[in-house]
């Protein structure tokens, strides 16, 4: 399991994001420490994905601060942040449909020049995702949703992230595939990658989280240890149907 530390890799304070005349995020604050798996849960429309886009430099924010490795990300593009190890697997996966699985993985390593290391990491992705190895020459666009999710995660890992952001990785997947995706998330975390996981599946997200945050209508309404939040009556009533 990853070793926890007090080092803050990602810190968000007073974040406000508006677009289309709507204030989607209204002063959010949270942090992710080195070696942690942090889950951000909330219903659809709570502002989770908007927050993730702001954190990764794909959406401008109106107010507040976002610091990665102790430096503000304001004005920096997503490609620049990827070079520093802040990498997101977006909602909807975003694989390159007309490229093969192997080519998609190679694209994940576009910032790297170590050919031997890239080849070794592709083999590592195939070990992590055996289904991808079986289909290594298949076009990504012909794969199932679950297979595309595996590929999107593998492609992100090829960039050797310090912090991996996962936006709704289980959305639209079968129960069996959801099990597989969360198994992979645990494996990646155990290998030392710090993870920020955004999920509607609150039960699964909090089961594996060191800490969790609940987001409602653009604000953080609750935070705590993952397992403790899982047993909180308010969380159970709102997100677990109890």
φ and ψ of 3, to 5 deg: -85, 125
Q: How far apart are CA 94 and CA 80, in angstroms?
A: 19
How many domains does the structure of the chain reveal? 1
Q: How far apart are CA 242 and CA 236, in angstroms?
A: 5
Whole-structure pTM value: 0.93
26 domain-assigned: no
Q: What is the CATH number of the domain that holds 53?
A: 3.40.50.300
Domain span including residue 91:
35-57+77-239
126 domain-assigned: yes
23 domain-assigned: no
65 domain-assigned: no
Tens place of pLDDT for every residue, the chain, 242 residues? 555 678 999 999 999 999 878 899 999 999 999 999 999 999 888 999 999 999 999 999 999 999 999 999 999 989 899 999 999 998 877 899 999 999 999 999 999 999 999 999 999 999 999 999 999 999 999 999 999 999 999 999 999 999 999 999 999 899 999 999 999 999 999 999 999 999 988 999 999 999 999 999 999 999 999 999 999 998 888 877 65
Q: What confidence tens digit (pLDDT) does each residue in 146-202 have? A: 999 999 999 999 999 999 999 999 998 999 999 999 999 999 999 999 999 999 889
∠ CA 86-143-196, nearest 5°, is: 25
72 domain-assigned: no
Q: How far apart are CA 148 and CA 153, in angstroms?
A: 9
164 domain-assigned: yes
């Amino acid at each position: 399991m990853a070793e926890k530390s007090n080092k803050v890799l990602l810190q968000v304070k007073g974040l406000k994001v508006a677009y289309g005349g709507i204030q989607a995020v209204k002063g959010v604050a949270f942090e992710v420490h080195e070696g942690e798996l942090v889950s951000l849960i909330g219903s659809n429309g709570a502002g989770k994905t908007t927050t993730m886009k702001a954190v990764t430099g794909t959406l401008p924010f109106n107010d507040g601060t976002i610091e990665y490795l102790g430096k503000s990300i304001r004005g920096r593009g997503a490609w620049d942040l990827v070079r520093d190890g802040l990498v997101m697997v977006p909602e909807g996966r975003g694989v390159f449909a007309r490229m093969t699985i192997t080519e998609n993985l190679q694209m994940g390593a576009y910032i790297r020049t170590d050919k031997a290391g890239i080849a070794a990491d592709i083999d590592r992705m195939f070990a992590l995702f055996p289904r991808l190895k079986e289909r290594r020459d298949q076009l990504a666009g012909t794969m199932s949703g679950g297979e595309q999710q595996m590929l999107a995660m593998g492609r992100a890992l090829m960039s050797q992230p310090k912090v991996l952001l996962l936006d709704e990785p289980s959305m639209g997947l079968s129960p069996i595939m959801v099990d597989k995706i969360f198994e992979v998330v645990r494996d990646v975390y155990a290998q030392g990658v710090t993870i920020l996981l955004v999920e509607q599946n609150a039960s699964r997200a909090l089961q594996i989280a060191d800490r969790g945050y609940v987001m409602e209508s653009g604000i953080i309404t609750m935070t705590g240890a993952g397992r403790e939040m899982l047993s909180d009556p308010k969380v159970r009533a709102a997100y677990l149907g109890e």
